[in-house]
């Protein structure tokens, strides 16, 4: 006790100075949490913008893919990406690459509004608070694609017929009215079952890969170590989206070929099928073109979906971030 008193007398309290801390030392700062949960309509707007930007930007590649997959009545010769592109330009000119783009615009916005909003709501409900629940991501993606395909399939059929029509139809409304008059309403949904069977695994692979790659990139990059979504750069979204889109596209190409056959039947010499049976269409393709026929268009499909998904996800997450900041500011105000 005497020693402690002597020490205290030698060092008066006024002489004690705080020891400077290293630059990386920060005292605990409590920041009040802000409610930035997005409203349902904001998710729909973000999805609509993302889908429209994605499909309109990559539309020429989609046109080339459609031409490569369309099965004509004559025996098929192998058609490569360059050959298909040059054939379109030589026959119909550069404008042919954008034939059907208005049908895409009318379908992509509403369909993606449904797609992303259903995904977000389902993911939140199924994940149980675990952001790394891959099963929840996959199942939510399947729910999203079943709903969005019901909206998108009719306009996708119109779009593909205009892409290969070569003057068969005068435009979007002419195609809709003629198909309705000549083939009936069911023609708009002839490929719906195939589309869902294709997009269900596509979306499951897509969303699971996207969430996993995004998580991995956030852990790898020092600036994203905190894991906050609003700190993620567009490069993270774009990279994760490209990986997800490219992988999912290659895996599901055979079903995409079948879908194209069903949607373009009877147009410009394309085969017409008695039923919309996937197995019947598959056998017809294999009979006329061999097993390579069900892989036609895989390269432009991958070249479409990889950058398209990068554009779509980066746009979607950016718009979500904007709405999140807007909600935070309104809560503070």
Residue 153 pLDDT: 93
Residue bearing the bigger pLDDT, 152 or 225: 152
Orientation angle between helical segments 192-220 and 298-332, nearest 10 degrees:
60
Average pLDDT for 262-291: 78
What is the rounded distance in angstroms from the CA atom of residue 121 to the CA atom of residue 108? 20
What is the rounded distance in angstroms from the CA atom of residue 58 to the CA atom of residue 235? 19
pLDDT at 234 over 80: no
Average pLDDT for 273-285: 81
Average pLDDT for 52-60: 88
Residue whose pair of structure tokens reads 């949904």 in the numeric block:
189
**DSSP assignment of 254-303:** HHHHHHHHHHHTTSTTB---SS--HHHHHHHHHHHH-GGGGGTTHHHHHH
pLDDT at 87 over 90: no
pLDDT digits (tens, 9 = 90+) for 172-211: 999 999 999 999 999 999 889 888 888 888 888 888 888 8
Q: Are 297 and 65 in contact (CB under 8 A)?
A: yes
Average pLDDT for 28-54: 69
pLDDT at 29 over 70: no
pLDDT at 34 over 50: no
pLDDT at 280 over 80: yes
User: What does the mean pLDDT of the chain come to?
Assistant: 79
pLDDT at 151 over 90: yes
Residue 177 pLDDT: 95
Most confident of 7-16, 121-130, 258-267: 121-130
Q: Are 149 and 190 in contact (CB under 8 A)?
A: no
CA distances from 67 to 39, 84, 253, 264 (A): 40, 7, 14, 10
Residue 197 pLDDT: 86
Average pLDDT for 155-184: 89
What is the rounded distance in angstroms from the CA atom of residue 284 to the CA atom of residue 218? 46
Average pLDDT for 48-58: 88
């Amino acid at each position: 006790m005497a020693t402690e008193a002597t020490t205290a007398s030698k060092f008066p309290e006024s002489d004690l100075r705080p020891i400077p801390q290293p630059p990386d030392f920060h005292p605990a700062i409590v920041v009040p949490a802000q409610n930035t949960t997005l409203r349902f309509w904001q998710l729909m707007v973000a999805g609509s913008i993302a889908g429209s930007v994605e499909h309109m930007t990559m539309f020429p590649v989609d046109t080339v893919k459609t031409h490569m997959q369309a099965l004509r009545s004559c025996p098929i010769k192998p058609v490569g990406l360059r050959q298909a592109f040059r054939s379109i330009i030589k026959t119909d000119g550069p404008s042919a690459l954008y034939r059907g783009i208005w049908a895409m615009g009318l379908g992509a916005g509403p369909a993606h509004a449904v797609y992303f909003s259903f995904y977000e709501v389902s993911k939140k409900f199924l994940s149980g608070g675990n952001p790394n629940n891959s099963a929840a991501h996959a199942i939510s993606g399947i729910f999203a694609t079943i709903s969005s395909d019901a909206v998108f399939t009719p306009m996708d059929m119109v779009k593909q017929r205009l892409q290969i029509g070569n003057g068969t139809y005068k435009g979007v409304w002419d195609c809709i009215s003629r198909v309705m008059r000549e083939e009936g309403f069911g023609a708009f949904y002839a490929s719906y079952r195939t589309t869902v069977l294709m997009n269900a695994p596509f979306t499951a692979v897509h969303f699971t890969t996207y969430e996993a790659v995004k998580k991995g990139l956030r852990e790898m990059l020092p600036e994203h170590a905190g894991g906050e979504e609003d700190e993620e750069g567009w490069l993270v979204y774009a990279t994760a989206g490209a990986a997800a889109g490219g992988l999912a596209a290659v895996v599901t190409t055979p079903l995409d070929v079948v879908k194209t056959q069903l949607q373009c039947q009877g147009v410009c010499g394309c085969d017409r099928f008695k039923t919309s049976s996937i197995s019947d269409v598959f056998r017809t393709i294999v009979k006329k073109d061999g097993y390579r026929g069900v892989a036609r268009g895989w390269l432009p499909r991958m070249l479409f979906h990889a950058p398209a998904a990068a554009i779509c996800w980066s746009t979607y997450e950016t718009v979500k971030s904007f709405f999140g900041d807007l909600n935070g500011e309104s809560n503070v105000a």
